Chain A
Amino acid sequence: GAGVSQSPRYKVAKRGQDVALRCDPISGHVSLFWYQQALGQGPEFLTYFQNEAQLDKSGLPSDRFFAERPEGSVSTLKIQRTQQEDSAVYLCASSQGAKDTQYFGPGTRLTVL
């Protein structure tokens, strides 16, 4: 079946612009995760959804970052007033349950100029 998809694959933003990154999880997966991966580093946890409920947003680096999953399927990560330090690959993952294997999408590479 189809895996996790993310769009856009690449995004270039000018500093101060708002961006929205989309994640389509595997159909039927209850749990959805966002991670941020800086160049040369491993992914770092941002936030976790169970269905439409955002149960953990402890990894969001600032209040400029906002994530939602209103119908318990597609999720959007929004970054307001982007800064250069927001440049990274943003990875989305989904799993059947919170403790099950997480399947990752290809990521969105965000570059803030």
Chain B
Amino acid sequence: SQQGEEDPQALSIQEGENATMNCSYKTSINNLQWYRQNSGRGLVHLILIRSNEREKHSGRLRVTLDTSKKSSSLLITASRAADTASYFCATDPSGGSNYKLTFGKGTLLTVNP
């Protein structure tokens, strides 16, 4: 079963614009991670935010986490055509099975040159 849900399902923007994707989840978590998946390739880890963190930056990526609302957002600034991919949030639950990542359905981002 999918724990997270990304929103929107698909997003199309022009190069140079910012892209924001949201993720909601259902149960208590230890961490929330964002992954990128290009067509025909595996998942690439982008960033991890811990449950006691509220915001994290990595290069052009900014992630926020609101545990009270069980939601996270991923902002990609100054987007490039190479950012075209599907983006997934993944959570690991607090408790015993905290190795078991649960993914959402993903947001398909298209960056037009």
Contact = CB atoms under 8 A, between A and B. Distances in A.
Contact of A42 (B30, B33, B105): B105
Contacts, number: 59
Interface residues of A, number: 25
Interface stretch (A13-21, A71-79, A99-107): A99-107
Interface residues of B, number: 26
B42 interface: yes
A1 interface: no
Given A42-B2, A42-B88, A101-B48, A91 B99 contact: no
Interface string A43-87: 111001000000010010000000000000000000000000000
Contacts of A107: 42
A26 interface: no
Interface of A: 4, 31, 33, 35, 40-45, 48, 56, 59, 91, 93, 95, 98-99, 101-107
